[in-house]
């Protein structure tokens, strides 16, 4: 009788922990959706600048800044939820790193947008902005695959793992574009003033960092798929 009671208590605890985990993953997925919104807006802002629509770009960036704040808020919500349950310490740590990386994605996107704000009225060659737009499109694709991976985590872990591996493929494409733009900036080195070149390089690095953080998030998803099998 006592054993049955203990068994029932254990089953109830596991049920509550599973619900807690599902809630945490739901919030993390929401965070991913919002982070993707910032990346989409970054692409739209660069497209607007390339088309010489500076006011449109500024409006989009203002929206991006507000959206980035929500990503940070959701990270804090996940952290609060993790303190309430009794998840295994390693799982808790990996989820914290996952949502922290999602927050960093949005941080680097915000840094990119700040550079665009400074550059928005510069008379830069369209070729340069088009190259940055192509790179931004690649980041959107990377984040979209990451979103599908996170969406499957806890429900279809095989698919979550498969999609997380595809994130690396998308990241590699963005890395190639990164190198192409560095070469392009070298070509224009004697035609642009040093301050403008520095801002363009900062923009490029921030965009690459956003992509790298997507890849890091995918790594933590892979770790969690192994843990969730146990």
pTM of the model: 0.88
> What's the CA gap between 196 and 201, in Å, rounded?
9
State both tokens at 3: 């054993």
Q: Which of 89, 104, 83 is nearest to 24 (CA)?
A: 83
Task: Check if the beta carbon of residue 213 is closer than 8 Å to that of residue 104.
Answer: yes
Report the topology of domain 2-228: Methane Monooxygenase Hydroxylase; Chain G, domain 1 (1.20.58)
Q: What is the pLDDT along the chain (230 residues), one digit of tens a residue?
A: 554 545 444 443 443 455 557 788 889 999 999 999 999 999 999 999 999 999 999 999 999 999 999 999 999 999 888 887 667 788 888 889 999 999 999 999 999 999 999 999 999 999 999 999 999 999 999 999 999 999 999 889 999 999 999 999 999 999 999 999 999 999 999 999 999 999 999 999 999 999 999 999 999 999 999 877 65
């Amino acid at each position: 009788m006592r054993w049955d009671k203990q068994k029932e208590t254990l089953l109830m605890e596991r049920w509550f922990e599973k619900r807690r985990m599902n809630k945490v993953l739901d919030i993390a997925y929401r965070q991913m959706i919002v982070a993707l919104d910032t990346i989409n807006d970054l692409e739209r802002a660069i497209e607007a600048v390339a088309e010489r629509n500076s006011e449109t770009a500024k409006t989009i960036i203002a929206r991006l800044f507000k959206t980035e704040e929500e990503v940070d808020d959701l990270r804090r919500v996940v952290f609060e939820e993790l303190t309430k349950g009794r998840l295994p310490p390693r799982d808790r740590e990996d989820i914290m790193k996952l949502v922290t990386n999602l927050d960093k994605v949005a941080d680097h996107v915000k840094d990119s947008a700040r550079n665009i704000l400074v550059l928005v009225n510069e008379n830069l060659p369209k070729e340069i902005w088009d190259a940055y737009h192509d790179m931004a499109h690649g980041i959107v694709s990377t984040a979209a695959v990451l979103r599908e991976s996170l969406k499957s985590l806890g429900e279809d872990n095989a698919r979550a793992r498969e999609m997380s591996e595809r994130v690396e493929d998308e990241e590699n494409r963005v890395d190639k574009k990164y190198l192409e733009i560095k070469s392009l900036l070298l070509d224009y080195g004697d035609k642009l003033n040093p301050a403008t070149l520095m801002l363009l390089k900062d923009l490029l690095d921030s965009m690459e960092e956003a992509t790298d953080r997507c890849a890091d998030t995918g790594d933590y998803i892979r770790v969690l798929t192994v843990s969730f099998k146990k």
